[in-house]
């Protein structure tokens, strides 16, 4: 398996523009997580899905952020409008259910810069 | 109080010595505990997991869990320069995996 695949790897956009980040989880994994990482706040959980259904979006910072998972192999995180404080590395991770020790596997991340 | 707390470091350890990384968590309902390593500019990767009280060893790495004290640690024996990275402690509570901010470890050649 190719692992969790994220695109784009890097995104530079102007303030006010819409940004869409994409993620393909590992086949067979039924959980998908979106995290944001900054120096100040570390790795924050934004939202997670189980079987394509959003379970907890309490980490989404504000209404400008939205996430969807239309099918088991694809998810998007959208920021509209983007602001400079949204600059961070966004990670997608997936895992399978069933065991206590089931780890989350991470994608390579999208480094977002909003200027 | 943050759910998972770690000292941010940097922690400097001479090559060949033992590096000791610590983590505390606030929710007693936490079920499993993970240590991830993250090199600069890369994504986190799992080193070890533990879910029972006591020690768990894997090569040069030993994870320790004390649920009564809500404390998790990672020992790295015979530290190598390639161990220089940020180490993230994570806890699984219900379906979520929550991370600490990480401890930067620097192995001195």
Does the structure show a pLDDT above 90 at A68? Answer: yes
pLDDT at B90: 95
CB atoms within 10 A of CB B94: 11
Does the structure show a pLDDT above 80 at A103? Answer: yes
Asked if B39 and B85 touch (Cβ cutoff 8 Å), the reply is yes
CB contact under 8 A, B95 and A104: no
Pairwise pLDDT comparison (B31 vs A87), residue with the higher score:
A87
CB atoms within 10 A of CB A53: 8
Asked if B33 and B49 touch (Cβ cutoff 8 Å), the reply is yes
Looking at the complex, does the CB of residue B88 fall below 8 Å from at least one CB of chain A? yes
Does the structure show a pLDDT above 80 at A15? Answer: yes
pLDDT tens digits, one per residue of A18-52: 999 999 999 999 999 999 999 999 999 999 999 99
pLDDT at B4: 95
pLDDT tens digits, one per residue of B30-46: 889 999 999 999 999 99
Does the structure show a pLDDT above 90 at B2? Answer: no
Does the structure show a pLDDT above 80 at A101? Answer: no
Provide the 8-state DSSP code for A104: P
CB contact under 8 A, A91 and B98: no
> Which of B7, B97, B100 has the most A C-beta neighbours within 10 Å, making it the best mutation to test the interface with A?
B97
Closest CA of chain A from B66, distance in Å: 17
Q: Residue A6 has which token pair?
A: 């994220």
């Amino acid at each position: 398996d190719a692992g969790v695949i994220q695109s784009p790897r890097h995104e530079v956009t102007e303030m006010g523009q819409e940004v869409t980040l994409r993620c393909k989880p590992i086949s067979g994994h039924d959980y998908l997580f979106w995290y944001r990482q900054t120096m100040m706040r570390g790795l924050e959980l934004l939202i997670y899905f189980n079987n394509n259904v959003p379970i907890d979006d309490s980490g989404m910072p504000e209404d400008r952020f939205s996430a969807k998972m239309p099918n088991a192999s694809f998810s998007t995180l959208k920021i509209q409008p983007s602001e400079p404080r949204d600059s961070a590395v966004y990670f997608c991770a997936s895992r399978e259910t069933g065991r206590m020790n089931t780890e989350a596997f991470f994608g390579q991340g999208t480094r977002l810069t909003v200027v | 109080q943050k759910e998972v707390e770690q000292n941010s470091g940097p922690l400097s350890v001479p090559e060949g010595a033992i590096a000791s990384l610590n983590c505390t968590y606030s929710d007693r309902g936490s079920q499993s505990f993970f240590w991830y390593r993250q090199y600069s500019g890369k994504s986190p990767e799992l080193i070890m997991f533990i879910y029972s009280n006591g020690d768990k060893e894997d090569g040069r790495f030993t994870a320790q869990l004390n649920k009564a004290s809500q404390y998790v640690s990672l020992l790295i024996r015979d530290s190598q320069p390639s161990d220089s990275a940020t180490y993230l402690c994570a806890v699984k509570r219900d379906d979520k995996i929550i991370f600490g901010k990480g401890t930067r470890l620097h192995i001195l050649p």
